[in-house]
């Protein structure tokens, strides 16, 4: 990918967004997902919060169908692909999959909270934390 656009979504609206870090000069887009906003009855409180957050990033802001808007933004910038951050929300994953049917898509993982050598046991927090806590604290040293 030589001329990507960036799709910035609502799980990674900060400077640590790996797509923004990897491509600081690329045109970047945030789309207010109108279907999600209507279906989940998202209040104006969250919309305002997202808007104010997005304004502090170098983003073009749009609203509507996210897939259609991302693809249109790619055409607008004659992009050869889309870079984004890996999402957790299945809705974002589905959007990424739909984009990928039209254009090359690269998903970059955000910095992890804890990197475990094998997937932890979930089901209950205590099981996970038994494995994760010692690893989290490895990077701490009381001396600073």
Partner 1 sequence: MPTVQTTSIPGDLPRTFASRKELERLLVEEFPSAEGSLSPIRGGRQAAEAKLSQVNPARYAKSRNHLKGAVTGLSPYIRHGVLTLAEVRDAVFQRIRNRNDGSKLINELGWRDFWQRMWLDLGEGIHDDQEEPKTGHAASSYAKELPADVRDGTTGLACMDGFRDELVSTGWLHNHARMWMAAWLVHWRRVHWKAGADWFLEHLIDGDPASNHLSWQWVASTFSHKPYFFNRDNLVRYGGTRHCDDCSSVHRCPFDGSYEQLEGQLFAPMPAIRSTGNGRNRRDGRPGNSSVNRGRSGASAALARPKR
Per CB under 8 A, residues contacting partner 1 are: 10-17, 20, 24-28, 32, 34, 37-38, 40-58, 60-64, 76-77, 85, 88-90, 110-114, 120, 122, 124-126, 128-129, 132-133, 136-137, 139-140, 142, 144
Q: Where are the strands (E) in the chain, listed by range?
A: 4-7, 28-33, 60-64, 81-85, 105-108
Question: Do 77 and 1 touch, CB atoms closer than 8 A?
Answer: no
Identify which of residues 38 and 101 has a Cβ nearer to partner 1 in the complex: 38
Identify which of residues 27 and 81 has a Cβ nearer to partner 1 in the complex: 27
- Residue 104: CB minimum distance to partner 1, A: 20
Distance CA 134, CA 139 (A): 10
End-to-end CA distance of the chain: 40
- Residue 7: CB minimum distance to partner 1, A: 13
């Amino acid at each position: 990918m030589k001329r990507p656009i960036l799709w910035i979504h609502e799980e990674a609206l900060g400077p640590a967004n790996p797509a923004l870090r990897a491509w600081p000069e690329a045109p970047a887009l945030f789309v207010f997902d109108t279907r999600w906003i209507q279906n989940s009855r998202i209040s104006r409180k969250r919309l305002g919060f997202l808007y104010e957050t997005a304004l502090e990033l170098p983003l073009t802001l749009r609203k509507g169908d996210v897939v259609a808007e991302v693809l249109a933004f790619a055409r607008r910038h004659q992009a050869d692909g889309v870079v984004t951050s890996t999402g957790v929300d299945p809705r974002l994953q589905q959007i990424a999959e739909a984009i990928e049917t039209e254009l090359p898509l690269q998903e970059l993982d955000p910095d992890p909270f804890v990197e475990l050598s094998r997937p932890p046991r979930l089901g209950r927090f205590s099981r996970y934390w038994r494995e994760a806590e010692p690893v989290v604290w490895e990077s701490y040293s009381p001396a600073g």
